[in-house]
Structure 1
Amino acid sequence: MIKIIVVGDALVSSENMEKAAYMLHLNDEIEVEKFEWFSELSKDEFQKKILLIERSGSEKVPIPDGILELLPDADYLLVHLAPVSQTMIRAGTNLKMIGVSRGGLENINIQEAAKHNIPVIHVIRNAVPVAEFTLGLILAETRNIAKSHYSIKTGGWEKEFSNAFYKTTLSNLTVGLVGLGNIGKLLVEYLQALKIEVQAYDPFVSEEELMRENITVKKVSLQEIFENSDIVSLHTRLTEETTGMINKDLLFLMKKNAYLINTARAKLVNKVDLLEVLQNKKIAGAALDVFWTEPIPVNDPFLKLDNVTLTAHIAGDTVDAIARSPYLLKNVMNDYFAAGFSKMIIH
């Protein structure tokens, strides 16, 4: 008998987690125990829990009630945003794997899992929505779609914007991607379908991996991305090493007609440095779906800029992406069981 614990929350139901668990290819009878983590909250109320766990990690939030008593007998633990803390991992003496139905791992004590040789598999639940949204932001900022809309809604009929001297079709531009994970790879496909030249930086993705996935993209250094791209789009994870990596040293390399797009994490970018290059028109503009403080404060200086497009962290927000994420996780775990390895594993 294989014992699986699933933890639902306000965004992903324990019922969907349970159904996905029963679809795992484990070659034995499966028994599932369900737990809840603030499942009773509204989406707006639950957003506060999300912000808390993203800022503070797995050790600063309450764990699911009653879970510690059953963890010693569990073989697999599947969660969405619920924390998997040091205490939980130490209690799970038989755990063979932790599955997370989201891309971010702020809610998992990765270091503790590694100490106990427990693989952690996660899934980019919203890769397609984010890749599509990123393409939309590129168009919105370079062609002033949002700015024109705002002008009309506020009584104007503006036709000239801060990037007036740089407007052109996307096929004339080169896009540089920082990060070639699931989202970055999808965006390569979308951009190349539009005949747009793409180059990318990702030290963790090999040429062999790209060849296996039939992805043809020019790999260059991070410095070359910022020096040579007309549009730089960020798609890398936030870690201690990547926090603030996009700073003045890189931003000042950008062309005067270039744009920065960020649908990843705000803290990848040094806020003061980006504000400086935008205020001084060192680059043509930026489009941001993520911010250093969310919601963005009413006095935030970015709200006064005329060369940015701002959206409220909605790139991955579609009706199906989050709710059905356990089934994506199930697919990735089954791939692991079949092949014995997975690029999704964090050691």
Structure 2
Amino acid sequence: MKILVATEKPFAKKAVDGIRGIVEGAGYELSLLEKYTDKAQLLEAVADADALIIRSDKVTAEVIAAAKNLKIVVRAGAGYDNVDLAAATARGIVVMNTPGQNSNAVAELAIAMMIFMARNRFTPGTGSEIQGKTLGIHAYGNVGKLVGRKGRAMGMKVLAYDPFITDAAVFEADGVETVASVAELYKRSDYLSLHIPATAETKGSIGYELLMSMPKGATLVNTARKEVIDEEGLRRALAEREDLKYITDIAPANQAELDEQFGKRVFATAKKMGAETAEANINAGLAAASQIVDFFKNGTTRFQVNK
């Protein structure tokens, strides 16, 4: 079995060494394609691969068509919208993610973003503290849970909304108050940490009405996906509410316009930074390799996302 690691932005050396140890220790071959600059390089490399590990690299229908032996793709991270699931499923290829491996890194970034905006982006002038403020968590998955716990540790009151969690004990164990609707969550949150995936139902769902309902001085923190934001609705709300702030780890298409119009009230990282820690890099890479070995050895599909 040949396992290809294809990463435009490579894993850390320690992660690659760990992946190699797992793969070769199981008796499989490891192939590396790092810092590639053209899709043709990926198409050539994947041609004889049985398994593929990626980060934010795009596995399109064209890539899948070129990979005649491919049986499994593992995205080292939580999101997997960079993989054409329909094309993979049509070929019988299993697609997995590595949930939880990047969660702490993203959660720490979300808290850091709140503080960054509360303190006027670390420029002169009186800022505010996040202690005593209300933190809303939109989607209480791996990252949302950690953001909530860290917020509580910093003295914030934490609310959460997640329609897919029906057991109230999950929230109660963390000292988190559940709310009945998205509308209520936004209406009550001084800081709203967004963790919903980009799906047909969620794309463009966070916009003008929700933002306008937020308390005075509120900040929306997006470490999820840019597609869930209604960018024109965001612009309108910021224009009408001079107290609102927006900070994101995924720059919207109209970021230049937002910067020009709203100055320090908006901020986007230069490149998605949520998983950019040494620890997350290593954890996700090792998890991806272990899942592939477990799949080939035991048929395990625990983290399959295209069932």
- 1:198–1:280 Cα change, 3 Å: same
Alpha-carbon distance in 1 for matches of 2:174, 2:253: 35
Deviation at 1:81, TM superposition (A): 3.6
The equivalent position to 2:123 in structure 1, one of 150, 156, 181, is 150
Q: Which residue of 2 aligns with 1:84?
A: 59
Structure 1 counterpart of 2:27: 30
Cα distance in 2 for residues equivalent to 1:119 and 1:255: 44
Other-structure match for 1:66: 44
Deviations 1:162-193 (A, max 9, x none): xxxxx5x4342221111223221211121122
Distance 2:236 2:80 in 1: 31
Q: Secondary structure at the match of 1:64?
A: helix
Corresponding residue SS for 2:280? coil
Superposed displacement of residue 272, structure 1: 2.2
Q: 2:247 aligns with which of 287, 293, 298?
A: 287
Deviation at 1:244, TM superposition (A): 1.1
CA 1:248/1:95 → structure 2, altered by over 3 Å: closer, same or farther? same
Which residue of 2 is the match for residue 11 of structure 1? 10
Q: When the two structures are superposed, what TM-score results if normalisation uses the length of structure 1?
A: 0.71
Query: Which has the larger displacement, 314-323 or 247-256?
Result: 314-323
Distance in 1 (CA, whole Å) between partners of 2:70 and 2:164 is 28
Report the counterpart of residue 200 of structure 2 in structure 1: 240
Number of paired residues? 302
Distance 1:278 1:208, change over 3 A: closer
More helix by share: 2
Residues 217-265 of structure 1: per-residue CA shift (max 9 Å, x gap): 3333211111222221111222333221101121222222422122222
What corresponds to 1:302 in structure 2?
A: 259
Task: Give 1:109 deviation, angstroms.
Answer: 1.3
1:45 paired residue number: none
**What is the 5 A alignment of 1:184-333?**
184-207=144-167, 210=170, 215=174, 217-220=176-179, 221-281=181-241, 283-293=243-253, 296-297=255-256, 300-305=257-262, 308-312=265-269, 313=271, 314-322=273-281, 325-330=284-289
Alignment map for 1:56-205 (pairs within 5 Å):
61-62=39-40, 64-67=42-45, 69-71=47-49, 74=50, 76-90=51-65, 95-123=70-98, 125-142=101-118, 144-146=119-121, 149-151=122-124, 158-159=125-126, 167=128, 169-205=129-165
Name the aligned partner's letter for residue 135 of structure 1.
Answer: I
Find the aligned partners of 1:22 and 1:342 in 2 and give their Cα distance: 22
User: What amino acid maps onto 1:267 in structure 2?
Assistant: E
Deviations 1:243-295 (A, max 9, x none): 2110112122222242212222233222222222222226443333332139x
Between the aligned partners of 1:276 and 1:33, the Cα distance in structure 2 is: 50
Q: State the secondary structure of the residue aligned to 2:48.
A: helix
Q: Deviations over 1:103-158 (max 9, x none)?
A: 3324311112223443311125532222112111212223x242xx434xxxxxx4
- More deviation, 316-325/176-185: 316-325
Unmatched runs of 5 consecutive residues or more in structure 1: 42-48, 50-60, 152-157, 162-166
Pick the structure with greater CA Rg. 1
- Distance in 2 (CA, whole Å) between partners of 1:241 and 1:80 is 25
Whole-angstrom distance in 2 between the partners of 1:31 and 1:338 = 15
Whole-angstrom distance in 2 between the partners of 1:89 and 1:266: 26
**Cα deviation, residue 315, structure 1:** 4.1
State the distance in 2 between where 1:69 and 1:332 align.
21
Does the Cα contact within 8 Å between 1:335 and 1:342 map onto a contact in 2? no
What percentage of residue pairs aligned between the two structures are identical? 21
**Structure 1 SS opposite 2:213:** coil
Whole-Å separation in 2 of the counterparts to 1:10 and 1:135: 25
Contact 1:286/1:307 (8 A) holds in 2: no
Determine if contact 1:231/1:258 at 8 Å carries over to the other structure: yes
Do 1:64 and 1:82's aligned partners in 2 also have CA atoms closer than 8 Å?
Answer: no
Amino acid in the other structure paired with 1:137 = M
Name the Cα RMSD after superposition.
3.7
Instruction: Give 5+ residue unaligned stretches, structure 2.
Output: none
Distance in 2, Cα, partners of 1:208 & 1:345: 26
Shift of 1:13: 6.5
Q: Give how far 1:93 is off.
A: 6.1
CA distance in 1, matches of 2:265, 2:306: 35
Output the amino acid matched with 1:11.
Answer: P
Amino acid at match of 1:219: T
- In structure 2, C-alpha distance between the alignment counterparts of 1:209 and 1:82, rounded to whole Å: 38
Q: What's the TM-score, normalizing by structure 2?
A: 0.79
Q: Structure 2: how far apart are the matches of 1:62 and 1:277?
A: 43
- Shift of the alpha carbon at 1:335? 8.0
